[in-house]
Structure 1
């Protein structure tokens, strides 16, 4: 999942299992957002490049 080992299961954490699972589920969201932003930026750059070539 891209998280460090024992991110929510370390011995010094006193989280119940339900809280551990919730933290893991929420931890995926930033990675999904980063992937979406990269895709949008890639599309934007491709569109800008295409418009620049048409204008030339």
Structure 2
């Protein structure tokens, strides 16, 4: 997810549901960037160079 190991899972006393809640949508930007890279690799640049 782009976070250091144990960022949420290393918190003592924080159960799995609380860990997931703490993370929230934090992974969305990384997933979106990865998806855009995949799409651009397949389709090429969006704008003509020039």
Q: TM-score with structure 2 length normalisation?
A: 0.45
Please state which structure has a larger fraction of its residues in helix.
1
> Which structure is larger by alpha-carbon Rg, 1 or 2?
1
Higher relative contact order, chain-length normalized (CA < 8 Å, sep 6+): 2
Alignment TM-score, normalising by the size of structure 1: 0.43
